[in-house]
Amino acid sequence: MLSHLNEQNQPQMVDVGDKAPTARRAVALAEVRLPPPLAALVSGNEIQGKKGPLFQTASLAGVMGAKRTSELIPLCHPLPLEDVKVELVALPRGPDGWATVEIRCSTRTFGKTGVEMEALTGASVAALTLYDMGKALSPEILIQGIRLLEKTGGKADYKVGT
């Protein structure tokens, strides 16, 4: 049975009242593919646009998104985040002229429930911000590969490939 459904198949918030608090951490990744007009503007791991520095703005938006996860995702517990880091790294352009930007969001707390959704939300909001700021040059920007890379704390740890 899914944890967010009760016996009558109705949505419910998971009861974490009896769980012991533990140190919890999660890392999520989103990939943004930049078409040639935008990829050509990447310099020194940043893009300067009319709206300002795209990567810095996307990073701040990702932190803000992670902090507001419980307001955006139904049934998520509000968490006291101890740390949120959002890093954007532009990979070299491919032969097709496109570039990939990897967005990693890491989150940390000490609590009764995990921070996976906060990491995933942070990476997603950063990717959406990059799209918003770059769409004037090309609406062909692709957001893909949003996924959890690792989590620690709680019942079991998880790491991609293990």
132 is catalytic: yes
Q: Are 42 and 35 in contact (CB under 8 A)?
A: no
Which two tokens mark 137? 């040059």
Which is the catalytic residue, given 15, 83, 132, 157? 132
Q: Kind of pairing, strands 142-152 and 83-90?
A: unpaired
CB within 8 Å of 80: residues ≥ 6 apart:
109, 111
Task: Identify the helix (H) or strand (E) that includes residue 124.
Answer: helix 116-134
Residues assigned a catalytic role:
132
